[in-house]
Every structure is written in C-alpha cells, then in structure tokens.
Amino acid sequence: MIVFPHAKINLGLHVISRQGIVRDTDDGVDGRSGQYQYSRKREDGGHIQDMDHTDNGGHKADTYNKACGGHREERDNKEDGYHTVETVLYPVGLYDALEVVPADDQKTRLTVSGLTIPSDGKPNLVLRALDLVVEELRRNKKALKGKEIPPVHIYLHKCIPAGGGLGGGSSDAAYMLMLLNERFSLRLSHQKLSAMASALGADCPFFMHNQPMHATGRGDCLQPISLPALKRFHLLIVIPPVHVDTATAYKQIRPKKPASSITAILQKPVATWQEHLVNDFEAVIFEKHAVLGAIKTALTTHGATYASMSGSGSAIYGLFPTPPPDDRFKKMFPGTQVINSHPPVS
C-alpha cells in the first residue's frame, strides 16, 4: 500500500509566548494531555527490538517543531517548554512516497531513497509512528480485539527536502499512522490518531487534513480556513543549502503579542500581505543567514506579490500572479533547489 505525504508552507508565523512545564521523560507529547509519550524502551521486548533500520542518510532533524512552531526545549534538569504560536499551514503539491508491505524475512526494516535526510541521532519519524501504533495495540489489546501489526518493510522515497520548514518528516509520520490504520484495519479513531500524531510533533496532526488550517497553541490546535484567492497564484519555493538550528532560533526569539491576527490579515487582498503578514523568525534567522533575506528580496523584486520564509526556514517562497522565472533564481543563487508549483494547494 502506497501513500503520498505532502509538504506545506506557513502563511505568517507569530511566536506569542513560551510556556514552561516539568517532565521526567525524554521524548513525548507536550504535557497538556500526557496521553502519549514516545520511548524506544519496550517492556515486552517486542517490535522495535528486531528493527533493522537501513536509512540512506540518517533521520529528520528538529522533529518536534519544524514549520508550525510547536517547539519543545530540553534541558539537563528536564524542565521543558513549548512556545504558543499562531500560523496558517497551507498544503503544497510536493510529495514523498511511503509504502508498507509484509516482511517475508520477519524483520521490520526501513529503506529510504531519494533526498538525503540529515541525521539527528533519533529514529526516523515513520519508525516512531509505527512504534506508537504497536504500543497502542499492546496497551489496549482487549478493546482492539487482539489486533497486531506483523513485521513490515517500509519504503520511504524523499522528494520533500529536509530542514526547510516544509514539514516533510512530520507529514511522513502522520501518513504512516493513517496508512497503518487502514492497511491493517485497526479502526483507530481520527481523534486517537491525532493524539498520537501530536506526540510525534506539533505540526503532525495538520497533515491528516489536506486543506489550509489556522494553527494555534503549540501549532496543533487546528481550525479550517478558506483561502480561495491563492488558487490564482503560482508558488515558487527556493531552498538554499543552509541549515537553520531551530532550537537556537527559538531561544533567540522574543515572544510578543501580535498587533493583528493572521486570520484577519489573510482576509485582506494578497497585495497587502507583504506589509502586514510577518514570520517572526525572519528577523532572527536573516541576521545570521543573510542569503535568506537576499532570496526573499529577489523574489519580490522579480514579481512575487508576497514572499516569506516558511516556518523557521530555510525555505523561502513567493506567490506570483504569473509563472515565475525559476531558472533565473537558480542562476542567482547557485546550489539552491527551486520548486515551482501551480496552484499552490493540491
């Protein structure tokens, strides 16, 4: 069974406040519900112990925050925090491919092809999604009538660049949850899957909806938003070979209450967005990586009605009323990846 996880961009991003909580665990949900926490330690010595991970480039970095802003900071004293944000998450017609098939050799294995995924020393998010589902089946064996997931081979082909604020890893994880639920007829509710997705990353629940969403809280409190005007625009995404350390960016940013909500700004003509629709990270990130600011300026200079950084970067996108000159940007910024899409939402 094959599914196609999609990318996204952020339309504006306000970092409003930082909330502190105290935890005893390492990786997990943000502490508001506490329902799911990820751990590779398994009391029954089950699924994950037999896992043979054959990744071609490692794992996705900054898995708890990319793009939607639901970021957790980890300290030696285990006092973690997350930032409350406001943003609009907008699906983009750029896709990975994810397939799960039964494992004839009885060993669960992940094979990654396509673009390289930078290593952060943690398991790939699709493996973490699998582990959460297996744990859910173990804990609720009676209610789920003894359903199990046999050893599987997972094939992930990466077309969404990692570390660009496009949410590729989070999308892969969300689609993995949905794929397992359908492939093995688990009948887990959408609410249950969303809670599990939130444990993997604040923006993961968004990818269970193929529509624009207004995101608040950690970025996982979602409400649909209609933006029909964008269907008339062409989307150009420029991704330079720049790594943005998201944890550092969150430490440097000063949360503040915005003058206007993003939803109010987005109801105005797109021609007014450049002046009012702001990504709070740009001031911090552009100071350290001047090329990102230069790309944004180049996009508006060459016809973009609106240009912005997606999430905490490093992808910069522009909305053009006519087909944009993608070759020009490749020549202007050698080494960058340029993605052209129309319409922006698929």
Predicted local distance difference test score (pLDDT) of residue 39: 41
Predicted local distance difference test score (pLDDT) of residue 26: 27
Predicted local distance difference test score (pLDDT) of residue 249: 81
The answer to whether position 202 is within a domain reads yes
The answer to whether position 44 is within a domain reads yes
pTM value?
0.81
Same domain, yes or no: 216 and 234: no
Predicted local distance difference test score (pLDDT) of residue 90: 96
The answer to whether position 210 is within a domain reads yes
Alpha-carbon radius of gyration of the chain: 20
Q: What is the mean pLDDT of each run of 10 residues along the chain (346 residues)?
A: 94 87 29 38 36 36 34 35 89 95 94 88 92 93 83 96 90 98 94 94 92 93 94 94 81 90 96 97 94 97 97 95 90 91 61
Catalytic residue among 30, 80, 172, 203: 203
Q: Give the residue numbers spanning the domain of 270.
A: 228-341
Same domain, yes or no: 194 and 76: yes
Predicted local distance difference test score (pLDDT) of residue 31: 28
The answer to whether position 320 is within a domain reads yes
Choose the final residue of a domain: 164, 190, 224: 224
The verdict on whether 105 is a catalytic residue reads: no
Domain count across the chain: 2
Predicted local distance difference test score (pLDDT) of residue 319: 97
Same domain, yes or no: 177 and 255: no
Predicted local distance difference test score (pLDDT) of residue 141: 82
What are the CA-CA distances from residue 53 to residues 58, 82, 138, 152, 302 (Å)? Answer: 10, 30, 22, 12, 44
58: CATH: 3.30.230.10
Predicted local distance difference test score (pLDDT) of residue 29: 25
Same domain, yes or no: 178 and 274: no
Choose the final residue of a domain: 164, 199, 224: 224
| Strand ranges across the sheet with 306-309 | 306-309, 316-320, 234-239, 337-341
Phi-psi region of 330 (alpha: psi -120 to 50; beta: other; left: phi over 0): alpha
Same domain, yes or no: 86 and 174: yes
Predicted local distance difference test score (pLDDT) of residue 81: 57
The answer to whether position 172 is within a domain reads yes
**Chain position carrying tokens 């508001």:** 32
Whether the Cβ atoms of residue 287 and residue 309 lie closer than 8 Å to each other: no
Same domain, yes or no: 219 and 276: no
Predicted local distance difference test score (pLDDT) of residue 251: 85
The answer to whether position 334 is within a domain reads yes
Q: What are the backbone dihedrals phi and psi of residue 329, each rounded to the nearest 5 degrees, phi first?
A: -75, -30
Predicted local distance difference test score (pLDDT) of residue 120: 74
Catalytic residue among 8, 60, 66, 158: 8
Same domain, yes or no: 218 and 232: no
305: CATH: 3.30.70.890
Predicted local distance difference test score (pLDDT) of residue 100: 97
The answer to whether position 346 is within a domain reads no
CA distance 68 to 264: 19
Same domain, yes or no: 203 and 300: no
The answer to whether position 91 is within a domain reads yes
The verdict on whether 41 is a catalytic residue reads: no
Same domain, yes or no: 235 and 172: no
Choose the final residue of a domain: 170, 190, 224: 224
Same domain, yes or no: 63 and 41: yes
Same domain, yes or no: 181 and 248: no
Same domain, yes or no: 208 and 240: no
